[in-house]
Amino acid sequence: MDADHSTVAVYTLPGCAHCERARALLRRRGISFTEVRGDGVPGFRRMLLELTGRASVPQITIDGAPVGGASDLARLDRRGILVPLARREPFPRARAVRRFNPVGLLAAPFGGTYGLWRHAVDVVERDGRLRERLPVGSAEQAAQLAGLLNERAAAA
């Protein structure tokens, strides 16, 4: 791959539904990858265990670093860091998030003004851990703040 994109490898076996789920997610996100098929390869699972610490399939690596399986890949995607990882963007990353506010739902019949959604900017580490949550008043403010924080991280 070029300097702007990581090398993503997906280690699979034929007939594996989780492998297809991982490949489909990568395709949906526009992330190119190399599939390493283990069918007919003696010691494939032993090699996976040495490479990633796990013998199950699929196993995904980004620039040679083990990411985990299909569920781990989906978790990174939900946290908004899969694409930045694949694009070698700097970390920590800021992302605008919207969360359901049950208090707003309960208060609405009584004239409450809490709103159904709470907006924030989550600052996440490369491994997906939340470093900081910054509450904001609206989706627009969240998008602006996330953009500003990511620009500053890229400039640093």
Can you say how many angstroms the Cα of residue 97 is from the centroid of all Cα atoms in its chain?
A: 14
Residue 47 scores a pLDDT above 90: yes
Can you tell me whether residue 91 is helix, strand or coil? Answer: coil
Share of the chain above pLDDT 70, in %: 92
Q: Which residue has the higher pLDDT, 79 or 52?
A: 52
Please give the single-letter amino acid code of residue 40: G
Please report, for the chain, the start and end positions of each structural domain, with discontinuous segments joined by +. Answer: 8-86, 93-155
Output the average pLDDT for the chain: 90
pLDDT score for 49: 96
Residue with tokens 């159904």: 116
Tokens representing 79 are 């946290």
Question: Domain 8-86 falls in which CATH fold?
Answer: Glutaredoxin (3.40.30)
Q: Which residue has the higher pLDDT, 3 or 6?
A: 6
Residue 64 scores a pLDDT above 80: yes
E strands present in the chain = 8-12, 34-37, 59-62, 65-68, 93-100, 117-124, 130-136
Q: How confident is the model at residue 1 (pLDDT cuts 50, 70, 90)?
A: very low
Per-residue pLDDT tens digits for 113-127: 567 888 999 999 988
Please give the single-letter amino acid code of residue 103: V
The Cα 34–Cα 26 span in angstroms is 11
